[in-house]
Structure 1
Amino acid sequence: MNAFPIRPAVAEDLAAIQRIYAHHVFTGLASFEEIPPDLAEMGRRWQAIAGAGLPYVVAADAMGEIAGYAYAGPYRPRSAYRFTVEDSIYLDPRFVGKGLGRALLARLIADATASGKRQMIAVIGDSANQASIGVHKALGFEMTGTFHGIGLKFGRWVDTVLMQRGLGDGASTAPTN
């Protein structure tokens, strides 16, 4: 049994989501944003993802506190990319190392597959982020490339690692919808 039940995010979760994301913006390289968005902007982002029928989920601890969240957003806006999503996973630092990132990613994979998506892309900030790279590898993602030194954050150049995983039939058949 998962110690962190995963469910679709709701509006009441947005303050916790914004707090978790702000921590990562201020302290880490998973996001290349340098100023965290406010609560209203986080709400707009959540509505855009959920409103498009894409998965946006949270995991809560036994007390109902949001321990992490994840979503699968459009990879790019052009129509030919409509069957491809990009995953994003952010954890409250108190809950790192408990298998939560893996559980959230597994849920995104299942939900995106069920919605007819065919590819999932991971764009991982910092090639030294072995935890994220390892979780993605464990769930079937393959390394597709690295952009070297494309982001400048905290006074240093940062890489972006690209990984990819097929969903359902992947690219072996054409979608029917």
Structure 2
Amino acid sequence: MLEEEYSPRRQLPPHLRKKPEPEAPFAFSIRPATEADLPDIREIYNHYVANSTVTFDEKPTTLRALRSKFAHVRKLGFPWLVAQSPSGQILGYAYVYPWKEKAAYRYTVENSIYLRAASTGKGLGTALLAELIETSREAGVREIIAVIADRGAEASIAMHQRFGFEQIGHMGKVGYKFDRWLGTVLMQKSLKKR
């Protein structure tokens, strides 16, 4: 056997070691979504359907269903935004949807924000929510409701609180996914004074 197999590996002193390349800053731009973005949006959403309780959907969404929802949001003049990397990859999306279909609810929406798994924890959700609030205000929205799972979505609850959303309710054990009962936290933000 060779002696080098048993001797500890020698290292250069710290001042002679090659320094690691600095990580490129996380860059993105936010723009209105287009129908061409829907396959990426579906991929992001279906990741959460299969792997988390932040959505109570249990079956992946289809492109057809997503196109229908997207068309409805556009017809109402509500925002649907995407965050895009400099290379063109969709990193996340955010939109608002009518809270209820009855006409009296027409100024109240529910928001949704989903990020590609590798894009979490980098400020992208905060940037999307800030832009979503502003574009919702411009669209005439008066109230935004956030319906957030009461387990596994603590970061989302904290982010909404930073934007002035107030907890207005909690519903326990209203969803059943991955063999466990889940509840929802209801949060609300007023965009205009009455």
TM (norm. structure 1) is 0.92
Matched residues in 2 for 1:94 and 1:150: separation?
Answer: 30
**Deviations 1:74-101, CA, capped at 9 Å, x for gaps:** 0011111111111000000010001111
Percentage of pairs with the same residue: 44
Structure 1 residue 63 displacement after superposition: 0.8
Deviation at 1:168, TM superposition (A): 2.3
Aligned partners of 1:11, 1:41: CA distance in 2, in Å?
12
Closer, same or farther in 2 for the Cα pair 1:22/1:128, shift >3 Å? closer
8 A Cα contact 1:86 1:123, kept in partner: yes
Candidates 146, 149, 161, aligned match of 2:170 = 146
Q: Verify the 8 A CA contact 1:127 1:161 in the aligned structure 2.
A: no
* Equivalent pair of 2:31/2:81 in contact (CA under 8 Å): yes
**Segment of structure 1 superposing worse, 125-134 or 103-112:** 125-134
Q: How many residues align?
A: 169
Counterpart of 1:103 in structure 2 is 127
- Asked whether 1:47 is paired with 2:85, we answer no
User: Match of 1:168?
Assistant: 192
> Tell me, which stretches of 5 or more residues in structure 1 are unaligned?
none
Separation in structure 2 between the aligned mates of residue 168 and residue 155 of structure 1, nearest angstrom: 41
Gaps of 5+ in 2: 1-25
Q: Which amino acid aligns with 1:124?
A: I
Cα RMSD for the two superposed structures: 1.2
- TM-score, scaled to structure 2: 0.84
8 Å contact from structure 1 (residues 29, 126) kept in 2: no
**Alpha-carbon distance between aligned partners in 2 of 1:24 and 1:127, rounded to the nearest angstrom:** 14
Task: Please state if 1:61 is matched with 2:85.
Answer: yes
AA of the residue aligned to 2:182 = V
Give 1:27's match in structure 2, choosing from 39, 51, 59: 51
Alignment of 1:80-159 (within 5 A): 80-159=104-183
Moved over 4 A (4+): none
Report the alpha carbon displacement of residue 128 of structure 1 after superposing the two structures with TM: 4.1
What is the deviation of 1:127? 3.9
Displacement after TM superposition at 1:42 (Å): 1.0
